[in-house]
Amino acid sequence: MRLARPSQNRKKPAPLDVEELLAYSARILTSHAQSISELRQKLTRRAADRKDVDEVLRRLKEGGYLNDQRFAESFATWRRDSEGRGKTRVVRDLLAHRVAPEVAKKAAEAAYAAADEIAMIEQFLARKFRGRDLGPYLSEEKHLASAFRRLRTAGFSAGNSIRVLKRHAAQAEDLEEVEEERPE
């Protein structure tokens, strides 16, 4: 007896009209915020007529339920405060959410205008390497390189990352040479 794969048993959902798309988008937006482009993509998959998607998006924008600028600003602030991410990571994540590049950059600039990146890097290191004395730990080249990569992946600038790492390990000077060779 062969068992069917779960994907083979699923029916394709029925196409939705304008009112059903509106209800569907309300369910999506109550679970978590979406960019206009993300929501457009989800609605397009379910729409009976592609013109209905534009109508639903227009209604949501007019009602104030959909606004990429507001989404980007709250996303950037949340990532800064809750996750301690750097500005470049926030811009990259907003672009992944299909927010326009200008909107993403402007929102990140606004969110990080008063932020102290050095303090954020210190907090990030304390959180990621809690329980370790960073001086001896980062004296090993592989741990230092790993910490630097983590900081860069988290969206912190190379210059400030190196400045903070220099406080903990003398070998951090070597990172400046590596960063200068790397094209941005």
pLDDT digits (tens, 9 = 90+) for 123-166: 999 999 888 888 888 888 899 999 999 999 999 999 999 999 98
Query: What is d(CA 152, CA 10) in angstroms, rounded to the nearest whole number?
Result: 42
Measured distance CA(168)–CA(181) in Å, rounded: 23
pLDDT in tens, 82-124: 999 999 999 999 999 999 999 999 999 999 999 999 999 999 9
Report the alpha-carbon distance of residue 41 to residue 32 in Å, rounded: 15
Supply the pLDDT for residue 168.
84
pLDDT of residue 152: 95
Contact call for residues 161 and 169 (beta carbons, < 8 A) = no
pLDDT, one tens digit per residue, over 30-61 is: 998 999 999 999 999 999 999 999 999 999 99
What's the DSSP call for residue 131? T
Check pLDDT > 70 for residue 173.
no
CA distances from 131 to 20, 39, 134, 137, 142 (A): 53, 42, 9, 11, 18
Q: What is the pLDDT of residue 175?
A: 61
Chain centroid to Cα 175, Å, comes to 26
Which residue do the tokens 């959909």 mark? 66
pLDDT of residue 157: 94
Residue whose C-alpha is closest to residue 126's, from 112, 108, 138: 138
- Reported residue count of the chain is 184
What six digits make up the tokens of 77? Answer: 């602030």
- Which pLDDT score is estimated for 166? 87
Helices in 47-172 by DSSP H: which ranges?
A: 50-62, 68-83, 87-96, 101-112, 117-128, 134-138, 141-153, 158-168
* CA R_g for the chain: 22
The tokens of 128 are what?
């990621």
CA-to-CA distance for 39 and 106, rounded, in angstroms?
21
